[in-house]
Each structure stands twice: as structure tokens, then as C-alpha cells.
Amino acid sequence: MARVKINNIEKLEMELSDGTIKEALFNADAIKIYGREFGNINEEELMNKPYDFAAKILYSGMKVLDKSVTIEEAKMLLIGGGDPLMREVVNNLVDNFMFNATEEQKDIFMKEADSYAKELMSKAN
């Protein structure tokens, strides 16, 4: 008998001040949407414009569930949610990637993430 491990991907829910709930799902479809609409991840943007990068990721995750969402809407949500929302978006993306990645992909990713973190810390100081 074949057995396939299934990832239980949870949606990110964002509750607006009026009680409206917006959702995002950071799965393979979100990565495809990001690539199709924005191209490859740009290191310069990631380092110099982290909110723009996070807004694109949020937009891609939201578009999985709602095809009518716009990048402007994602940017406004990210501005309203600030750093906590940005961290949650990135953490969700990373968690889902790490669950499905091979050990080699995980090693490469962790080395890149460490390099980015060191560079960001040096810019902050």
C-alpha cells in the first residue's frame, strides 16, 4: 500500500476593524502566482524593500483564495498589520516551504536565510 504524507496547511486569517475576515494560503499555488506576476524573488528588493516583498507574498497567498484581490489591497493590509503581519506572512511561507522541501533544499534555504538575516542586522546597526 502506498502512503502519502499530506501537509495540513492552515490559512492566515486577518480580521479588519469592521469585522471583515481576509484570508491567505501560502501553498504551491501562491508561489506560482508570485512567479507569474512578479518573476523571481529579487534579492535587492528583499533587502531594501522588505514591505514590498511581503506585500507581494501576501497578495499571492490571498489570490489563491480570492481571484479579485489586488496588490494595492495587500499593501494596505500589510501597512495596517505592520511588523506582526509581515512576520506572520513570512513565517507561514517558510513553514509551508520547509514542510515540502527536500533536505538539500532545506539546507540551501537555511544558508540563504542566515545570510539575509546577517545582512539585515548589519544594516540595522
Whole-angstrom Cα distance, residue 33 to residue 56? Answer: 10
Per-domain boundaries in the chain: 23-106
Is 71:87 a contact under the CB 8 Å cutoff?
A: no
- Residue pLDDT, tens place only, 19-74: 999 999 988 888 889 999 998 877 777 778 888 889 999 999 999 999 999 999 99
